[in-house]
Chain A
Amino acid sequence: MSKQLQFKLVLLGESAVGKSSLVLRFVKDQFDDYRESTIGAAFLTQTVALDDGTTVKFEIWDTAGQERYKSLAPMYYRNANCAVVVYDITQSSSLDKARNWIRELQRQADPSIIIALCGNKSDLAARRQVTQEEAQKYAEEEGLMWAETSAKSGDGVADIFTAIAKKLPTTAQPAARAGAARAGAATGRAGVDLNKQNAATSNDPCNC
């Protein structure tokens, strides 16, 4: 069986920039104009097959609306291997919010985290407020990946996730399940998976 690696990916960014829509497009290839904010899933998974036969499985955490009133918990982005920080190209203020999130990640998250800055709603280029040059320049300065996407048309969505998958270090210790093995990786000691009894010594690298 080919190698499968699992990583935690979090979405960040101002409310209504299209985070949940990006996830829905990536995971289910759907778009819904009128969908009411965040759907009831703690996290969704999607796999990306790379050319070398490796598959990268993303455990995708959406904000559950908690970004709306400054209430996104630190727990949300802890242990994230990658973050997609989204702004809306038709709202220049949303890029400022994205910058704040990137600063927060640089201070708080694991230094090896991969951050992708994502300018969404590229289908609305006629109402553009953020130029590609401005965003790209900022991304370069901060060492971030950058792309424009449209969750509505699907443009660029699969590309950005695939690019992240390629960039994730294939030697990094990914999680067998949320929390458990990941914590063990950092300390050299196995954590405990509460959903498995007497699993304290289990360090099975793969739950397949």
Chain B
Amino acid sequence: MDADGNFDVVIFGTGITESIAAAALSKAGLKVAHLDSNAYYGGDEASLTLEELAQWADSRQPAAAQTSPYLSEQRNKFTSITRSSTIPDHPRQYSVSLAPSLITSVGPLITSLVSSGVSRYGGYRLLERVGLYDSAVGIRNVPGSKEDVFKSQEMSLLDKRRLMRFLMFASGDFEDKKELLGHQDSPFIEFLRTAFSLGKEVSEAIAYALAFCTSSTDPTLTALQRLRSYLRSSGRYGSSPFLVGHYGGLGEIAQGFCRVSAVNSGVYILDRPIRSIISSSNSVENTATPTGDFSPSRRDKYVVELEDFPEPMTADLIISSASLLPEGLRETAHFLPQQTSSTVLSRARCIAIIDRPISFPTSLRADEDPSPEPASVADTNPVPSVDNSPVDTSVVVFPPSSLEGGSSTSAVHAFITGQGSMSAPQGKYIVYLSVPMDETQDTLPETILNPYLDAILSLTVSPSPEASIPPTPLFTLFYAEHPSERTQSTSTENKSSTVLVSPPISTALSETSDAASDAAEVLFFKAIEILKARRREAWTVREGSVEAGSGGDVFEELKFWPPLDGDPEEEAGEW
């Protein structure tokens, strides 16, 4: 921070979207102050130790003693919270994500990670398995690629041919294909059955386990687009299209982006609530133009004061997460719209700790694909390598109506991960469950998700054949997460506002990470646009000229991520 505490941008909230935006803005040469009233990074996408998670949950209980504008907003956003009263041993060895998510191997977040250099900070692993729950047999393997389809011993030749035809279609440019015409908005499941004559089982596997549809009515076009991006992702780092970030994923990744911002002179202040924000309409000094005229101009600046912090900060622009937006700025803020069409829904969520791995039927493992290149279709190896080590990181998909006592309309994607993603101690696994919930019904998240948790437990490997004690979770937390209520308060859109609020992002397992990167990119360019106009105005005032672009040259042809400097290995060199 310079001596006067002057910044171009002050950002409230270190959630994944704001953190990516902070890194990009700092790299573009702007002075950024990045603040959070939490003591931890990551906001609503934080990765927390079990102790921190318990505290997080307790402070969001409606009756909790402590209060602040932020906490009361959080108490509207997170409701119906119930947790186990005891916390398992070694609570600090857990990194639990508030926003569990898979990262597509080809997509906006990966691009941001690699282009910003953040990928060098942390670790990632491949998602090992995706399985489909079947009450009769337990877990059915899902063919994740054309090679899997070919190798499958469960499918008839006719089914294989139909499925291959569909996969070819789905990985290509299907937008103008005749098969899709008129069906863009019809339910994807129906489309699979009618346009490609696929059977019920295969259709369900495609819709819920490959395209990650969350309901039987998900529209065809968006499902196909998702599926295409997943199909194109497989093979980049291994046969699975998905990666899982170490130490709780997005919360850790947010810290990486914040570090990139700090390395580019971003200033970080955590654990300090905002005391006040004043918008000062400073009259910029009137300066004589060459013709002797005066051209007065008004430049609004924000003056931000924090609790326990001596120096006030000034900024031309404020960016805020919806959660941390100070109430006083709500009227004038510009709430950026969501980037994808699917609406952000309320979700019932469960986080459980278990001490047994999930038992999958054997097959080739995604992260142990022996061929360096994706296997060619002709290369059929009939003997899959058998691996008996437990599956660490996986997804178990429950299609609608697949589970007694479960939802008949929504699919549930259970995400299970353990020590392999550095998020749990050895032998322990975190189970994340979530399902969109109908807010008009007042069923508790615990009631909605308990059947799924029981089913997951029944799919675990029992420690010995005789052990008849039913497995129980070591810890559970259930809660409901709602879209932020902090949205545009009036019908006006405040398009020229200098307070930007991050767009809402999808909370679906396979969508959150890419949505955050897209949202950050929108924030970045909007911020640049505003600051550019500001600079031009300031320059005009100083020079008394309106020559196009003069003041904004620094921002011409700006990219979200400029090329990285040389390899850090060579940066210092050996001497």
List the one stretch of A41-49, A81-89, A134-142 in contact with chain B.
A41-49
List the one stretch of B147-155, B259-267, B333-341 in contact with chain A.
B259-267
Mark A78-114 against chain B: 1 for CB-CB distance below 8 A, else 0: 1100000000000000000000000000011000000
Query: B318 — which chain A residues lie within 8 A by C-beta?
Result: none
A42 touches B117 (CB 8 A): yes
Q: How far is the CA of A108 from the CA of B121 in the complex (A)?
A: 18
Interface residues on B, range: 35 or more
Query: B114 — which chain A residues lie within 8 A by C-beta?
Result: 194-195
B259 touches A42 (CB 8 A): yes
Query: A200 — which chain B residues lie within 8 A by C-beta?
Result: 126, 237-238, 367, 369
Nearest B residue to A180 via CB reads B123
A44 touches B237 (CB 8 A): no
Contacts A41-B571, A46-B572, A197-B236; A191 near B123 (Cβ below 8 A):
yes
Does B124 interact with chain A (Cβ within 8 Å)? yes
Does B258 interact with chain A (Cβ within 8 Å)? yes
- Residue from A45, A69, A201 with most neighbouring chain B CB atoms (10 Å): A69
A183 touches B125 (CB 8 A): yes
Query: B246 — which chain A residues lie within 8 A by C-beta?
Result: 179, 183, 191
Does B247 interact with chain A (Cβ within 8 Å)? yes
Within 8 A of B (CB), among A63-80: 64-66, 68-71, 73-76, 78-79
Secondary structure at chain A's binding surface: helix, strand, loop or mixed? loop
Within 8 A of B (CB), among A170-208: 177-180, 182-183, 186-187, 189-192, 194-195, 197-201, 207
Does A40 interact with chain B (Cβ within 8 Å)? yes
Contacts A42-B260, A201-B370; A75 near B238 (Cβ below 8 A):
no
Report A80 CB to chain B, min CB distance, Å: 12
Does A3 interact with chain B (Cβ within 8 Å)? no
Nearest A residue to B103 via CB reads A194
Does A35 interact with chain B (Cβ within 8 Å)? no
Contacts A75-B256, A191-B123; A199 near B572 (Cβ below 8 A):
no
Contact of B120 among A27, A38, A179, A198 (CB under 8 A): A179
A194 touches B271 (CB 8 A): no
Report A9 CB to chain B, min CB distance, Å: 13
B259 touches A179 (CB 8 A): no
Query: A191 — which chain B residues lie within 8 A by C-beta?
Result: 123-125, 246
Does B574 interact with chain A (Cβ within 8 Å)? yes
A65 touches B121 (CB 8 A): no
Q: How far is the CA of A179 from the CA of B256 in the complex (A)?
A: 12
Query: B119 — which chain A residues lie within 8 A by C-beta?
Result: 179, 194-195
B122 touches A75 (CB 8 A): yes
Q: Interface size on A (CB < 8 Å)? A: 47
Mark B108-134 against chain A: 1 for CB-CB distance below 8 A, else 0: 001001100101111111100000000
Does B92 interact with chain A (Cβ within 8 Å)? yes
B571 touches A179 (CB 8 A): no
Secondary structure at chain B's binding surface: helix, strand, loop or mixed? mixed
Within 8 A of A (CB), among B346-400: 367-370, 372-373, 392
Query: A70 — which chain B residues lie within 8 A by C-beta?
Result: 39, 270-271
Report A128 CB to chain B, min CB distance, Å: 29
Report A15 CB to chain B, min CB distance, Å: 12
Report A46 CB to chain B, min CB distance, Å: 6
Nearest B residue to A178 via CB reads B120
Does B521 interact with chain A (Cβ within 8 Å)? no
Query: B451 — which chain A residues lie within 8 A by C-beta?
Result: none
Contact of A177 among B120, B260, B575 (CB under 8 A): B120
A42 touches B574 (CB 8 A): no
Within 8 A of A (CB), among B486-524: none
Nearest A residue to B117 via CB reads A42
Does B328 interact with chain A (Cβ within 8 Å)? no
Contact of A201 among B268, B271, B369, B568 (CB under 8 A): B369
Nearest B residue to A74 via CB reads B255
Query: A28 — which chain B residues lie within 8 A by C-beta?
Result: 572, 575
A179 touches B271 (CB 8 A): no
Q: How far is the CA of A87 from the CA of B124 in the complex (A)?
A: 34
Contact of B235 among A180, A192, A198 (CB under 8 A): A198
B259 touches A199 (CB 8 A): no
Contact of A69 among B123, B259, B269 (CB under 8 A): B269
Query: B110 — which chain A residues lie within 8 A by C-beta?
Result: 194
Within 8 A of B (CB), among A36-60: 38, 40-47
Between A and B, 25 residue pairs with Cβ closer than 8 Å are: A38-B262, A38-B263, A41-B568, A42-B120, A42-B568, A64-B259, A64-B263, A70-B39, A71-B269, A74-B255, A177-B120, A179-B246, A180-B124, A187-B422, A189-B125, A189-B367, A192-B126, A194-B110, A194-B113, A194-B114, A194-B237, A198-B235, A200-B238, A201-B238, A201-B368
User: Can you name 19 extra interface pairs (CB under 8 A) apart from A44-B572, A65-B262, A71-B271?
Assistant: A38-B263, A42-B121, A42-B260, A43-B568, A65-B265, A65-B268, A66-B262, A66-B268, A68-B267, A70-B270, A71-B270, A180-B123, A186-B419, A191-B124, A192-B125, A194-B113, A194-B237, A194-B243, A200-B126
Q: Which residues of A contact B (CB under 8 A)?
A: 27-29, 38, 40-47, 64-66, 68-71, 73-76, 78-79, 107-108, 177-180, 182-183, 186-187, 189-192, 194-195, 197-201, 207
The 3 A-B residue pairs with the shortest CB-CB distance, nearest first, are A183-B123, A200-B238, A64-B262
